[in-house]
Amino acid sequence: TEREVLLDALTGLNNRKAFDRKIKELYEAFENNEGFFSVIMMDIDFFKKFNDQYGHHIGDEVLSIVGSGLKKNLKGKDFSARYGGEEFIALLPNTTLHNACVVADQIREEISKKRLKIKKTGQTIGNITISMGASKIRKGDSVISVVERADAALYMAKDSGRNNVKSEKDLELAKTAT
């Protein structure tokens, strides 16, 4: 029963409550010098369009496809969750920022290969694209700050054309360029 309380019924991924528990556990391990982790925030591009133009059933299918893509591409102790709405998040224990970006790009590519088609009419409605931002826990961070950096990188990815991956390093480069 407790396991069901921690799952998102639509995607089969962990839910926000499970995520909050897991990041706290990883953060405590980091504080005790027992490992580190990276965070990937993900947002489905133009998700509102799927719901508005094709109905919530198609929107639900899009969410399910993204959930399947995460399950397929995350391995071992990696942890994925539906963060809320069309946002997803992954925690990658003992994974460098560079490797988190590599994983994020693999996920992005896998999901973008999926072509949506309305079964009744055969109408193709395009591909699903996803924007992502990555960060890595560092000294002085809180659970909130590491997620906020991933979120800021995600919005940089959206602002730079969508369907790409940005990291906290991109945020730092943008700051020094101005």
Residues known to be catalytic: 86
Sheet-wide strand order for 130-136: 79-84, 87-93, 37-44, 130-136, 165-167
- SS3 per residue for the chain: CHHHHCECCCCCCECHHHHHHHHHHHHHHHHCCCCCEEEEEEEECCHHHHHHHHCHHHHHHHHHHHHHHHHHHCCCCCEEEEEECCEEEEEEECCCHHHHHHHHHHHHHHHHCCEEECCCCCCEEEECCEEEEEEECCCCCCHHHHHHHHHHHHHHHHHCCCCCEEEHHHHHHHHHHC
